C-alpha cells in the first residue's frame, strides 16, 4: 500500500501544477470581489484560461470538446487548482451536471449550440429540479410545460436553485403529461434564464444568508428544439444529472470546523470539572468527530485508489454526506454548549465561535441538500444492501388522479 501518485499521475500533476502556478498568479492576494459582476468576471476569466490551454472538460469525450482523460486527471487537476488562488465554483453546476446531461440526451443542434459556449465559460448554467412540493420525491414536480406550436409554455416554481440569478441558461424538468404516472409524464428542456416570465429571487435561509434562489416561471416560451431527450423521458435525463451530482456532493466542506476546532477550543476552556480538554466527555467527542470525518476522508481515498488502479470504486462512498453533515451538527452543538453563554451570544466576526455557530446553522441545511439523511439511508439500504424499496402507492397512478393514502 502507498499514498503516492503513479509515475503517470506524478507527471501529470507536475505539468498542471506548473501551468496553474503561472496562470493563477494574477489572482494571488486579490481581495474578495466587491460586486457580483466582478465575481462573475473573475470566474469567467479563469474558465477561459483553462479552455484555451485545453484544461476544460478533462473527462468529457473529445467529440464534445473535452479532453477524453480519466477521472484521476480531473481529480489531480482540481486538487492542484484548490491549492492555488484560482477562482472556481461558478461552473461546478453547469459543467459538472447540466452540460453532461445536455450532451448525453440532447440533439446534435442543441449540443453544437450550447456545449462549446458553456465549456469556454461564456454562458453560465443552473439546474432547475426541486420544487416546494417536490424535493426528496422529485418525480412529484408540478411545473408544467404545455405545447404551443413549435414552442412549449412553462409555468411553475423551482426552488433551491444555485446560481440562478447569475445564469444564462438552465435545464428544467417539467410535467408535460399530467395524465401519465408521475415518472412518465416529465420532460426536460433548456430554458433561457433571461427570457420574459423568468424571475429568480434570492431565497433567504434559516441561517440568514441567501445562497440559493427560488425561480418563478410565468408563461415562459421554450422552443421544442431545446428539448433534452424525448417527450416523457425527463426522468431518465434527470437521473443523468443526479448521478453527476452524487459525484460532486459528498465530502466535508472545505475549511469547515472539525475535530481540531473542538480540540483547540477545549484547550482554552476551564469548567467546573477541570480544564475542558481533560474531561473524558470532551475527549470522547473529539475522538468521535475524528473517526467520522477522517473515516469519510479515508473512505474517499479508497475510491481514489480504485480509480487510480483503473477499477470501479466500491459502494462505500455512499456513506460520505450522511456522516459528514450530522457529524458537523453534533460537533458544533457540543462545542457551543462547552462554551456556555459565549457559545450562544453572537460570536465576533471571523472568530472561531462565529465559525462554529455558522457550522451549526449550515449543518441543518447540509443534512437536507443533495439527498436528505433519510433518502441517503434508503439508498444505502436498497442499492448497497439489497433491501426492498419503500412501497410507492402512487407509482402507477396517473399523476392527476393521485390521492394521498
Partner 1 sequence: MNFDFSDDARALSESARRMLTEHAGPDAARRIMDSDVAYDEALWRQVVDLGLTAARVPEAHGGVGLSPEESCVLAEEFGRSLAPVPFLSTLLATEALLLAGTEVQQAKYLPGIADGSTIACYAWGEGVNSPTAIPATRAESGRLTGTKSPVADALTASLAVVTAAGEDGPALWLVDLKNVSVAPAATLDLVRKHGTIALDGTPAEPLGTSADYQRFIDRAAVILAFEAIGTAGAAMEMAVGYAKDRVAFGQRIGRYQGVKHKCADMYIKLELARAHALYGAWAFAADADELRHAAAAARTASLDAVRFAAEENVQLHGGIGFTWESNCQFYYRRARQLSAALGSRAFWADRLVRALEQRNRAAA
Site map for partner 1, 358-387, x if CB under 8 A?
A: ----------------x-xxx-xxx-xxxx
Is 405 among the residues that bind partner 1 (CB under 8 A)? no
Cβ closest to partner 1, residue 82 vs residue 210: 82
Site map for partner 1, 6-25, x if CB under 8 A?
A: x--x----------------
d(CA 108, CA 105): 10
Look at residues 291, 319, 325, 300 and name the one whose alpha carbon lies nearest to residue 380: 319
* Number of shown-chain residues binding partner 1 (CB under 8 A): 50
Site map for partner 1, 255-274, x if CB under 8 A?
A: ----xx--x-----------
CB of 191 to partner 1, least distance (A): 35
Instruction: At 190, give phi and psi (nearest 5°).
Output: -90, 135
d(CA 403, CA 405): 6
Is 294 among the residues that bind partner 1 (CB under 8 A)? yes
d(CA 256, CA 327): 11
Which bin fits 345, alpha (ψ -120 to 50), beta or left (φ > 0)?
beta
Is 319 among the residues that bind partner 1 (CB under 8 A)? yes
Q: Which of 301, 342, 345, 354 binds partner 1 (CB under 8 A)?
A: 301
Q: Is 294 a catalytic residue?
A: no
CB of 132 to partner 1, least distance (A): 23
Of 11-19, 93-101, 280-288, 344-352: span binding partner 1 (CB under 8 A): 280-288
Cβ closest to partner 1, residue 5 vs residue 123: 5
CB of 57 to partner 1, least distance (A): 24
Is 113 among the residues that bind partner 1 (CB under 8 A)? no
Contact 300/391 with Cβ under 8 angstroms?
no
Look at residues 101, 128, 361 and name the one whose alpha carbon lies nearest to residue 222: 128
In the DSSP assignment, the letter for residue 305 is H
Is 280 among the residues that bind partner 1 (CB under 8 A)? yes
Catalytic residue selected from 9, 26, 123, 245: 245
Q: And the C-alpha cell for 351? A: 472568530
* Residue 274 CA: distances (Å) to CA of 108, 268, 277, 278, 327: 70, 11, 8, 7, 26
Other CB atoms within a 10 A radius of the CB of residue 29 amount to 7
Is 5 among the residues that bind partner 1 (CB under 8 A)? yes
Span between the terminal Cα atoms of the chain, in Å: 54
User: If DSSP codes are grouped into helix, strand and coil, which group holds residue 347?
Assistant: coil
With both helix axes pointing from N to C terminus, report the angle between 259-267 and 280-308 in degrees, rounded to the nearest 10: 150
Q: Which of 310, 312, 390, 404 binds partner 1 (CB under 8 A)?
A: 390
Please give the biggest Cα pair distance in the chain. 76
Residues belonging to the active site: 245
Interface residue list for partner 1 (CB under 8 A): 1-6, 9, 259-260, 263, 280, 283-284, 286-288, 290-292, 294-296, 298-299, 301-302, 304-306, 308-309, 316, 319, 322-323, 374, 376-378, 380-382, 384-391
Amino acid at each position: 500500500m502507498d499514498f503516492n501518485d503513479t509515475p503517470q499521475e506524478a507527471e501529470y500533476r507536475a505539468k498542471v501544477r506548473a501551468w496553474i502556478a503561472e496562470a493563477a498568479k494574477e489572482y494571488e492576494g486579490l481581495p474578495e470581489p466587491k460586486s457580483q459582476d466582478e465575481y462573475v468576471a473573475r470566474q469567467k476569466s479563469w474558465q477561459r484560461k483553462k479552455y484555451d490551454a485545453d484544461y476544460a472538460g478533462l473527462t468529457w469525450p473529445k467529440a464534445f470538446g473535452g479532453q477524453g482523460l480519466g477521472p484521476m486527471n480531473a481529480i489531480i487537476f482540481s486538487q492542484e487548482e484548490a491549492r492555488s488562488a484560482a477562482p472556481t465554483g461558478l461552473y461546478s453546476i453547469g459543467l459538472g451536471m447540466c452540460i453532461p446531461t445536455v450532451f448525453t440526451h440532447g440533439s446534435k443542434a442543441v449540443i453544437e449550440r450550447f456545449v462549446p459556449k458553456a465549456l469556454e465559460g461564456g454562458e453560465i448554467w443552473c439546474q432547475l429540479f426541486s420544487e416546494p412540493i417536490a424535493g426528496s420525491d422529485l418525480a412529484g414536480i408540478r411545473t408544467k410545460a404545455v405545447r404551443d406550436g413549435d414552442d412549449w409554455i412553462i409555468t411553475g416554481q423551482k426552488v433551491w436553485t444555485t446560481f440562478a440569478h447569475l445564469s444564462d441558461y438552465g435545464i428544467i424538468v417539467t410535467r408535460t403529461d399530467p395524465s401519465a404516472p408521475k415518472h412518465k409524464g416529465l420532460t426536460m428542456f433548456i430554458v433561457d434564464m433571461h427570457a420574459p416570465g423568468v424571475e429568480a429571487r434570492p431565497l433567504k435561509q434559516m441561517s440568514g444568508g441567501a445562497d440559493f434562489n427560488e425561480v418563478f416561471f410565468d408563461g415562459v416560451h421554450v422552443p421544442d428544439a431545446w428539448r433534452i431527450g424525448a417527450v416523457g423521458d425527463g426522468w431518465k435525463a434527470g437521473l443523468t444529472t443526479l448521478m453527476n451530482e452524487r459525484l460532486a456532493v459528498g465530502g466535508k466542506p472545505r475549511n469547515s470546523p472539525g475535530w481540531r476546532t473542538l480540540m483547540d477550543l477545549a484547550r482554552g476552556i476551564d469548567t467546573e470539572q477541570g480544564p475542558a480538554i481533560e474531561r473524558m466527555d470532551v475527549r470522547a467527542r473529539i475522538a468521535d468527530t475524528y473517526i467520522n470525518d477522517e473515516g469519510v476522508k479515508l473512505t474517499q481515498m479508497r475510491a481514489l485508489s480504485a480509480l487510480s488502479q483503473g477499477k470501479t470504486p466500491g459502494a462505500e462512498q455512499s456513506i460520505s454526506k450522511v456522516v459528514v453533515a450530522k457529524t458537523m451538527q453534533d460537533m458544533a452543538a457540543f462545542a457551543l454548549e462547552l462554551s456556555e453563554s459565549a457559545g450562544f451570544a453572537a460570536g465576533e466576526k471571523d472568530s472561531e465561535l462565529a465559525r462554529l455557530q455558522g457550522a451549526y446553522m449550515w449543518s441543518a441545511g447540509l443534512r437536507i441538500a443533495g439527498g436528505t439523511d433519510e433518502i441517503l439511508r434508503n439508498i444505502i439500504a436498497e442499492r448497497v444492501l439489497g433491501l426492498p424499496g419503500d412501497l410507492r402507492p402512487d407509482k402507477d397512478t396517473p399523476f392527476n388522479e393521485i390521492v394521498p393514502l
